[in-house]
Amino acid sequence: MRWLLTLLLCVLPAAAQNPRGLFNWWDSPIARDLNLTDSQREQIRSTVRDYRGKLVDQRAAVEKAELEVEDVFNSDALDQQRATAAIDRLANARGDMIRVFSQMSLQMRTVLTPEQWRQLQSRRPRMGPSDRMGPGGPAGPMGPRRGPMRRGQGPGPGLD
């Protein structure tokens, strides 16, 4: 039983990764190198502001689901039905997080010119499947442990 718990705890973070090519480019030095116009910067800032609440809500849902899975797994009397339901809720919460982040990224993509998009793609970090960037850094939208952002950070763009 302990090996199953270990396996699941190793596999679950991998499920939190962003779809290929999505990363928080607007909050990185890459954004400064794209020669964005003032209008583009404002549109990107506005998009991030519009999605901030959704991202915070999704982060909370994922954290809650992760804690529930953790509690079920740490229970002395493991209830498989309860564990399966908790895992399903976690998978759904992470899926919703990726969906919201992807929608935000799509909205920002519409702001970029085709040339800026090509530059962005050529400059994005070259990463393997296990260390893609998402809000919060490595390991996708969940960051190294939990949440789309580290505690105390907002999803605000670094477009100064």
pLDDT tens string 45-84 = 999 999 999 999 999 999 999 999 999 999 999 999 999 9
CB-count burial class (<10 Å; 0-12, 13-18, 19+) for 124:
middle
Q: Say yes or no to pLDDT of 140 above 80.
A: no
Q: Say yes or no to pLDDT of 86 above 90.
A: yes
pLDDT (tens digit per residue) in 88-116:
999 999 999 999 999 998 999 999 999 99
pTM of the model: 0.64
Domain ranges of the chain: 44-117
The pLDDT assigned to 48 comes to 92
Regarding predicted confidence, which is higher, 97 or 159?
97
Per-residue b or e along 64-100, where b marks 16 or more CB atoms closer than 10 Å to that residue's CB:
ebbebbeebbeeeeeeeeebeebbebbeebbeebbeb
The pLDDT assigned to 23 comes to 65
Give the separation between CA 49 and CA 31, rounded to whole angstroms.
17
The pLDDT assigned to 123 comes to 80
